[in-house]
Amino acid sequence: MNKPRHPLDKPLRAARSAATGSALGPGYSAANSNTRIHGPRPFTLPQSPAQAPAAPAANLGLNSDRLRLQMVHRLREQGIVDERVLSAMQAVPRHLFVDQGLASRAYEDAALPIGYGQTISQPWVVAHMLSVMCDGRSPVRVLEIGAGCGYQAAVLAQFVPEVHAIERVRGLYEQARLNLAQGRARGRVRLTFGDGMQGLEHRAPFDGIVVAAAGVKIPEALLHQLAVGARLIAPEGTAHQRLILIERTGPSSWHRLELEDVRFVPLRPGTQT
Ligand code: SAH
């Protein structure tokens, strides 16, 4: 007997690239993951005041409103139009979610390392994924897989009343908990330490699901935890990855769309303590 088919089973590039063995392509590291890819080179912006070797982190508090304004301005220039997302990103102090030594770079349009071989996603990636997931919708309960340091969950919590976020690395889960406890998002994000590939069955259905790490395939459990009419956005693939948008169109029907080329850290099963 064949295994039951995945609801979205079809030949995928991801399945072919799995044969290359490496989770990330040559020259790629966790520190430059969770970004959009333009052609063969990672996306970089021309130097702007926000990117110049910046003031010590201690001074950043004073400047961070202005730096965030510049970041939001760049996001608009790069095609982000959802005002909920833009004002959420204006509100959340990204520099408080990274190590003090990197705080001065927090408002560049770049992913940054957060330890444990993981990254905080590039601002454009966060803005784009949330915009696409929420487009034409007002989600009340959203699930994030791969909380990392908690930044994206904090952004979501600015305009979504109930955010659930799962992280599989114990140290990052603890870090996210501390980071989220400081901010205005307090109480709106419920963090779970566990394997997000299973989703969060007892809280389903979700009005949106966002996955911050790339699996060879989008985990089937997540598709079933999506409310009808809701959207999931996730990177998929290994050496070659794409953002995938899935909309649940009925109790047993899903529509799938392939979006941009991206590079994310891998989605891994189980937990790491
Ligand atoms: N959301 C973060 C991005 C973190 S990077 C942000 O705001 O920038 C992706 C995260 O996914 C990593 O922390 C990694 O540990 C986590 N991850 C990978 N596989 C996972 C899984 N199966 N369940 C939960 N988290 C997972």
Q: For residue range 166-199, list pLDDT tens digits in order.
A: 999 999 999 999 999 987 666 799 999 999 999 9
What residue owns the CA closest to ligand 1's atom 1? 147
pLDDT in tens, 1-60: 444 556 665 433 333 333 333 344 555 576 678 999 874 344 343 344 444 444 455 566
pLDDT at residue 43, rounded to an integer = 38
Q: How many angstroms is it from 150 CA to the middle of ligand 1?
A: 9
Q: Which residue has the tokens 């790069």?
A: 78
pLDDT over 90, % of the chain: 75
Residues enclosing ligand 1, CB less than 6 A?
A: 34, 118-121, 145-148, 151-152, 166-169, 172, 195-197, 212-213, 265, 267-269
Please write down the long-range contacts of 197-201, taking CB distance under 8 Å and 24 or more positions apart. 197/145, 197/221, 197/222, 197/267, 197/269, 199/143, 199/145, 199/224, 199/225, 200/143, 200/164, 200/166, 200/225, 201/225
